[in-house]
Structure 1
Amino acid sequence: MRFAFVGGLDVPDWLLSQMFVLSKMSVVKFKVLCKQVLMQASGAPVDEQKFAKLLSDGKLESHEVKGAVAALHFIFLSSARYDVAEETLGEELQQLGLPKEHTEALVIALRDGRAPLRQHLADASLRLSKLESLRWRVSEDVGSARAHAADLQLTVRAPAALGTSVAPPERLLKMRLSADTLSLLHAELLKARELVPAPK
């Protein structure tokens, strides 16, 4: 059976097995766990001691706790990614065996945290390398009659990975363009600048 919260695909087997584990938790602990996992998925700092205290429940073994956190994390990210309606998500989770009270708690937590989660996902996607420096010079190509070429030297830096403050190393790119190729590149870049709105 296909489910909207996983993009119209079948639910992974590991997630199905975690539904039983999630249903063993009390509703109160489940609500708090949902909020903590949602905060973590949104990139917000999480109180590790509160997290550990919450999960130190005699009913669950350590591997079950890890599986439950992974399952909630997957459900939140996947639901936000595919922009699943709350009613649809609730119905699908109940079809998978999650009790109604647990489902309602999860849906309410997602309703409250959907905007920051989607913003975090948007910030984490389509991040382009930053141009650090550009050097160029025009030279006469010795091989052909009075042809000119442009030597470009670009230094770019990829964006830092989310959750880290360590900047990745710079990359040096060198290229030689003929006068015709440089003119074509310049025209294409001007056209692209017209089409793409300036950042606000």
Structure 2
Amino acid sequence: MRFAIFSNSFAPDWLIISISHLTLLSSLRLKMLTKSICSHLLTTTSTSPGELKTQEFDGKLSPSEVKGCVAALTFIVLSITRVHSSTFHGDDVRPLDGTVVTNELHQLGLTKEAAEGFSHMYDEFKTKLVTWNVDTMSVGPSRLFSTDWRLIYGLAGGGYTTGGSTTSAPSPSSSNVLDVQLSFKKNDNSRINFSMSLEKFDELKMELENVQSIIEKEEAKK
């Protein structure tokens, strides 16, 4: 059976198993766990459930079952958010309302009360989650917030200089070599490092400026 909350896809087997474990929790505890997951997603770049505290389970489940339950709720929250984000972008996707979410979670195995509790809690975070998803999943240049670069001058005598110091290294004897080393720091603190010639750097800069101009024009249409 396909579910609208999963973009009209089937529910994975592991999710069905984890939902059966979630039924051991009261509707109130499941609602509070949903709140913790939504808050976690909005305050960190990680979607890993391992960082969440699990006091909501009261020792009713094994550590692996607890991890599976948190992963299941995280998966559901992210899936619903992606559907809402697709609607936000104007894609041909059927909008989700609380009734659809509640009914489909009930079909997946949650009690009616637990499904309604999840739906009500999600609705409190929906606007912020959709905004978060659009921002973090965007391919636009805003995901890069730090760019470092330095120049390396090749010496005809067989060395190169960077930052005023000279180190032995081969270089063309016909002319000095000018390279640009770039380090892009992304929002998750990972880095992308590479080097290129000054000519290629100028081409890259021009292309990025063109892309930025296109993005700004598209955003102005909204």
TM-score, length-normalised on structure 2?
A: 0.64
AA paired with 1:159? K
- Given candidates 132, 144, 155, the residue that maps to 2:182 is 155
What does 1:81-96 align with in structure 2 at a 5 Å threshold? 81-83=82-84, 84-96=96-108
Count of aligned positions: 175
C-alpha offsets along residues 147-187 of structure 1, whole Å, 9 cap, x if unaligned?
xxx956252323141xxxxx445624222549xxx6x8787
Cα distance in structure 2, aligned partners of 1:30 and 1:65: 12
Counterpart in the other structure of 2:214: 195
Letter aligned with residue 104 of structure 2: E
Q: Measure, in 2, the Cα distance between the counterparts of 1:2 and 1:191.
A: 41
1:1-200 aligned at under 5 Å gives the runs: 1-43=1-43, 51-57=53-59, 59-83=60-84, 84-125=96-137, 126=139, 127-128=143-144, 130-133=146-149, 153-161=180-188, 167-169=189-191, 171-175=193-197, 177=199, 191-192=210-211, 194-197=213-216
TM-score by length of 1: 0.70
Alignment root-mean-square deviation, CA: 3.5
Q: Which moved more, 1:89-98 or 1:112-121?
A: 112-121
Residue 110 of structure 2 aligns to a residue in which SS? coil
> What's the offset of the Cα at 1:105?
0.4
Alpha-carbon distance between aligned partners in 2 of 1:104 and 1:70, rounded to the nearest angstrom: 19
Q: Which runs of at least 4 in structure 1 moved beyond 6 Å after TM superposition?
A: 184-187
Q: Answer whether contact 2:145 2:187 (CA < 8 A) is retained.
A: no
Deviation at 1:111, TM superposition (A): 0.2
1:197 Cα deviation from its structure 2 partner: 2.0
Secondary structure of residue in 1 paired with 2:19: helix
Partner of 2:156: none
The separation in 1 between residues aligned to 2:194 and 2:206, in whole angstroms, is 24
Work out the percentage of aligned pairs sharing the same amino acid.
25
CA shift in 2, pair 1:175/1:68, >3 Å: same
CA–CA distance in 2 between the matches of 1:23 and 1:70?
15
- Whether the aligned pair in 1 keeps the contact of 2:29 and 2:56 (CA below 8 Å) is yes
With over 3 angstroms needed to count, the CA separation of the structure-2 counterparts of 1:5 and 1:174, relative to structure 1, is same
Partners in 2 of 1:29 and 1:36 — Cα distance?
A: 11
Shift in Å, 1:110: 0.5
Note the residue ranges of structure 1 that are not aligned, 5 or more in a row: 138-149, 162-166
For residue 146 of structure 1, what is the aligned residue in structure 2?
Answer: none
Q: Which runs of 5+ in 2 are unaligned?
A: 45-49, 85-95, 154-176
How far the C-alpha of 1:86 sits from its partner, in A, is: 2.2
Distance 1:14 1:197 in 2: 42
